[in-house]
Structure 1
Amino acid sequence: MGKKIVLAAGGSGGHLFPALALADELRQRGHSIYLATDSRGNKYNIDFSECQIFQIPSATITTKAPLPLINTISKLGRGIFKANKVLNQISASAVIGFGGYPSFPTVVAALLRGVPTVIHEQNAVLGRANRMLSKHVNMIATSFEKVKFINADLSDKVYVTGNPVRQIVIDSANRIYRAPLVGDTINVLVFGGSQGARFLSEVVPPALSSLPRQTRKRLIVTQQCRSEDLYDVKRTYRKADIFSNCAPFFSDLPHKMALAHLVICRSGASTIAELSVIGCPSILVPLPNAVDNDQLENAKTLTQAGAAWCIEQNELNVEELINTLKTILELPLKLENAAAAARRMGCSDSVNKLADLIENLTGR
Structure 2
Amino acid sequence: MNQTRPIVLAAGGTGGHMFPAEALARELLARGRRVVLVTDIRGKAFGDALPDVPVERIRAATAAPGLTGKLRMVVELVAGTAQARGLMRSLDPAAVVGFGGYPSVPTVFAAQQRGIPTILHEQNAVLGRANRLMVRRAGLICTSFPEVKGLGTADGRRIVRTGNPVRADILALRDCPYPAPTAHGAVTLLVTGGSQGAAVFGEVVPRAVALLPEDLRLRLKLVQQARTENIETARSAYITMGVQAELAPFFRDMPARLAGCHLMIGRSGAGTVAELAVAGRPSILVPYPHAMDDHQTANARALAGAGGARLLPQSEMSPESLSALLAALLADPATLSSMAKAAFAWSMPDAAQRLADAVLARIDGVSTPAGGLAA
Per the TM superposition, whether the score is higher than 0.5 is: yes
Distance 1:43 1:89, change over 3 A: closer
Deviation at 1:264, TM superposition (A): 0.4
Q: For residues 39 and 10 of structure 1, what CA distance do their matches in structure 2 show?
A: 10
User: How much has 1:300 moved relative to structure 2?
Assistant: 0.7
Indicate yes or no: 2:198 matched with 1:197: yes
Secondary structure, in 3 states, of the residue corresponding to 1:41? Answer: coil
- Corresponding residue for 1:250? 251
What does 1:1-364 align with in structure 2 at a 5 Å threshold? 1=3, 3-42=5-44, 47-62=49-64, 66-193=67-194, 196-363=197-364
Q: Distance in 2 between matches of 1:227 and 1:54?
A: 37
Greater shift, 129-138 or 42-51, is seen at: 42-51
Moved more, 252-261 or 295-304: 252-261
Cα gap change, 1:52 to 1:237, in 2 (>3 Å): farther
Is the alpha carbon distance of 1:46 and 1:218 closer, same or farther for their aligned partners in structure 2, counting shifts above 3 Å? farther
With 83-92 and 315-324 compared, the bigger mean Cα shift is at 83-92
Whole-Å Cα distance in 1 between the matches of residues 241 and 42 of structure 2?
Answer: 39
| Aligned residues of 2:39 and 2:45 also touching (Cα < 8 A) | no
Paired residues of 1:36 and 1:54 also in contact (CA < 8 A) = yes
Tell me which moved more, 132-141 or 165-174.
165-174
Q: Secondary structure at the match of 2:9?
A: strand
Q: Is the 8 A contact 1:276 1:342 kept in 2?
A: yes
CA displacement at 1:77 relative to structure 2: 1.1
In 2: Cα distance, 1:69 partner to 1:324 partner: 42
Q: How many residues align?
A: 363
Partner of 2:372: none
Structure 2: state its 5+ residue gaps: 366-375
Q: State the alpha-carbon separation in 1 of the partners of residues 51 and 275 from structure 2.
A: 23
CA contact (8 A) 2:224 2:246 kept: yes
SS at match of 1:301: helix
Task: Tell me the TM-score normalized by structure 2.
Answer: 0.89
- CA distance 1:140–1:324, change in 2 (3 Å): same
Give the structure-1-normalised TM-score.
0.92
Write the distance in 1 (CA, Å) between the matches of 2:251 and 2:85. 37
Partner Cα separation in structure 2 for residue 289 and residue 50 of structure 1 = 37
| CA distance in structure 2 between the aligned counterparts of 1:338 and 1:85, rounded to whole angstroms | 50
CA distance in 1, matches of 2:54, 2:241: 50
Q: 1-side partners of 2:327 and 2:269: how far apart?
A: 25
Structure 1 residues 186-195 or 139-148, which shifts more? 186-195
Counterparts in 2 of 1:196 and 1:67: CA distance versus 1, 3 Å: same
| Secondary structure at 1:153 match in 2 | helix
Q: CA deviation at 1:3?
A: 4.4
Counterpart AA for 1:6: V
More divergent stretch after superposition (44-53 vs 78-87) = 44-53
Relative to structure 1, the CA distance from residue 182 to residue 163 in structure 2 (aligned partners, 3 Å threshold; closer, same or farther) is same
Q: Aligned partners of 2:157, 2:173: CA distance in 1, in Å?
A: 35
Kindly indicate whether the alpha-carbon contact (under 8 Å) linking 2:28 and 2:35 is maintained by their aligned counterparts in 1.
Answer: yes
Root mean square deviation, CA, Å: 2.3
Partner Cα distance (2:153, 2:167) in 1:
32
Q: Which amino acid aligns with 1:272?
A: V
Question: C-alpha offsets along residues 66-123 of structure 1, whole Å, 9 cap, x if unaligned?
Answer: 4432221001112222223333343322211111212212211222232221101111
Distance in 2 between the 1:189 and 1:34 partners? 38
The range that moved more, 67-76 or 256-265, is 67-76
**Of 231-240 and 89-98, the range deviating more from structure 2:** 231-240
